[in-house]
Amino acid sequence: MSDVAVHDASHQAQETNFQARLDAEDKIEPKDWMPDAYRKTLIRQISQHAHSEVVGMLPEGNWLTRAPSLRRKAILIAKVQDEGGHGAYLYSAAETLGASRDQLEIDLIEGRSRYSSIFNYPTPSWADVGAIGWLVDGAAIMNQVPLCRCSYGPYARAMVRICKEESFHQRQGFEIMQVLASGTAAQKDMAQGALNRWWWPALMMFGPPDAASVHSSKSMQWKIKRFSNDDLRQRFVDATVPQTEHLGLSIPDDALKLDKDSGHYQTGPIDWDEFNEVLNGNGPCNDDRLAQYTKARTDGAWVREAASVFAEKKAASVFAEKQGASV
Ligand code: BYC
């Protein structure tokens, strides 16, 4: 056998062994062998997810100074802070795959990476904060609970804590909607207006329809994704329609109906042109969000520098102490 043939055969054996581990529901850990394409897919998805958490702080952060009471303000500060924490866990999970956090951030700023389409919509009223918690965090939970079983250990473990926090976020959003929907006519209108603004973008969060999803089949074979985009979208619709009825609000979709045979709600057509426009940078808030992300990163450079000098000095002093102890 030639050297090339031997190399090919051993690579094939590694691939087969890798898939067998996935099929046996083994977790893949950072130092394990993995195909380059698996590593790349994870870095792509985890970094997009991390960017989404951080950019996701902006639409609600917009209401921190105008929350209607001290209690609401404290809850919202905690929620927005949680999203920043989620970004930190996820950037760390991407680093275990050999990615540099700095480079991932630059990739977003320079347009080589993405964040979720949902965060390119404005929050003109307090009810938008409720609708984001209820619908956006609700959609995030639907998509992210299966990620707790993702084949890559560090991502799966990060998702466990993230999902617990998202669950609290979803409830606080629902409670804001409940208070508004059972308040004055003007408050109920405000809640309905926010639902009208966020319903369709929330359905788009799950990604393109299965037929147009380029990454799904490989990601499902690798057990990164456990369900297709359309399956998760359907679960979200089925869970959310009864919640909307409970609130006394209406889903902004005249074609929405319950299919008695399947037991699932059918929605009208989703405007995929709008989704693609948002992905191409032409949503209502794309420029603003990226400008704020870039500004926060630039303004925070001195903090990162100070933290890394502190960490280096601390490591050097621990090392010197250990050397002294061993003499
Ligand atoms: N927005 O082949 P597909 C949150 C891109 S929640 C923008 O189906 P995949 C939060 C996709 O990246 C939001 N881009 O891809 C909640 C790909 O483009 P590239 C974040 C989207 O990866 C509350 C192309 O379209 N959640 O953070 O198999 C408060 C083809 O799509 C979108 C996650 O990131 C979209 N909506 O499936 C604060 C969850 N949809 O990369 C924060 C983890 C698709 O080829 N991610 N694209 O240029 C996932 O589960 C999957 O990546 C997706 C897409 C379901 C989003």
Q: Does 79 sit in the ligand 1 pocket, CB within 6 Å? A: no
pLDDT tier for residue 127 given thresholds of 50, 70 and 90: very high
CA distance 36 to 84: 29
Residue 1's pLDDT band, with cuts at 50, 70 and 90, is: low
CA of 275 to the centre of ligand 1 (A): 12
Q: Is the pLDDT of residue 327 over 60?
A: no
Cα of 186 vs centre of ligand 1, distance in Å, is 35
Give the model confidence (pLDDT) of 259-287 as tens digits.
999 999 999 999 999 999 999 999 999 99
Helix (H) / strand (E) element for 101: namely helix 101-109
Q: What is the pLDDT of residues 50-61, one digit of tens each?
A: 999 999 999 999
Phi, psi of 266 (to 5 degrees): -110, 130
Instruction: Please tell me the residue having the least CA distance from ligand 1 atom 36.
Output: 205
Q: Find tokens 């581990």 and name the residue.
A: 21
Return d(Cα 75, Cα 218) in angstroms, integer. 39
Please write the tens of the pLDDT for every residue from 116-125. 999 999 999 9
CB 44: neighbour CB atoms within 10 A? 17
Q: Is the CB of 205 under 6 A from ligand 1?
A: yes
Which pLDDT tens digit goes with each residue over 74-93?
A: 999 999 999 999 999 999 99
pLDDT for residue 302? 96
pLDDT value at residue 191:
98
* Percent of all residues in the chain with a pLDDT value above 70, rounded to a whole number: 98
- R_g (Cα) of the chain, nearest Å: 22
Write the pLDDT tens digit of every residue in 160-215: 999 999 999 999 999 999 999 999 999 999 999 999 999 999 999 999 999 999 99
- Tell me, using a 6 A CB cutoff, whether residue 137 lines ligand 1: yes
Task: Give pLDDT, residue 325.
Answer: 73
Q: Whose CA is nearest to atom 14 of ligand 1?
A: 116
Mean pLDDT, the chain, rounded, equals 96
pLDDT at residue 234, as a whole number:
98
Kindly state the average pLDDT of the residues 60-69. 96
With a 6 Å cutoff on the Cβ, whether 113 touches ligand 1 is: no
Q: Judge whether residue 3 has pLDDT over 80.
A: no
- The pLDDT value recorded for residue 224 is 98
Q: Alpha carbon of 295 to those of 108, 299, 300: distances in Å? A: 13, 6, 8
pLDDT exceeds 80 at position 5: no
Q: What is the pLDDT of residues 150-161, one digit of tens each?
A: 999 999 999 999
Cα atoms found within 13 Å of the Cα of residue 38, Cβ hemisphere only: 21
Assign 255 a pLDDT band (cuts: 50, 70, 90): very high
119: CA distance to ligand 1 center in Å? 12
Rounded to whole angstroms, the Cα distance separating 118 from 283 reads 9
103 C-beta neighbours (distance < 10 Å), count: 12
Which residues are within 8 A (CB) of 82 and not within 5 positions of it... i.e. 6 or more apart? 165, 168, 169
Determine whether the shortest distance from the Cβ of 143 to ligand 1 is under 6 A: yes
Any atom of ligand 1 within 6 Å of the Cβ of 47: no
pLDDT of 227 reads 97
For residue 259, the cross-strand partners are 264
Spatial separation of the C-alpha atoms in residues 253 and 265, rounded to whole Å = 11
